[in-house]
Amino acid sequence: MSAQPRPLILLTRPEAQSQRFARDLGLPCLISPLIAPRFLHPEIPAHRALILTSETGALAARGLPPCRAYCVGDQTAATARALGFDAVSAQGDAKALIALILTDPVAPLLHLRGCEARGDIAARLTAAGLPTAEALAYAQEERPLTAEAIAALRGTAPVLVPLFSPRSATLLAAELARIGATAPLRVVAMSQAVAEAARALDSRALDPEPRIAARPDALSMREATRSALNLPPLP
pLDDT in tens, 70-114: 999 999 999 999 999 999 999 988 899 999 999 989 999 999 999
- pLDDT for 3: 53
Q: Which residues of the chain have pLDDT under 50?
A: 1-2
- pLDDT for 2: 45
How far is 50 from 57, CA to CA, in rounded Å? 10
Which amino acid type is present at position 197? A
Domain with CATH 3.40.50.10090 in the chain: 8-34+143-228, 37-141
- Structural contact between residues 164 and 66, judged by C-beta atoms closer than 8 angstroms: no
Instruction: Write the CA distances from 83 to 65, 66, 67, 80, 87, integer angstroms.
Output: 10, 8, 11, 5, 10
Q: How many CB atoms lie within 10 A of CB 98?
A: 20
Enter the CATH code of domain 37-141: 3.40.50.10090
Whole-prediction pTM value?
0.87
CATH top class, domain 8-34+143-228? alpha beta
- pLDDT for 189: 95
Task: Work out the mean pLDDT of the chain and round it to a whole number.
Answer: 92
Q: How many CB atoms lie within 10 A of CB 44?
A: 16
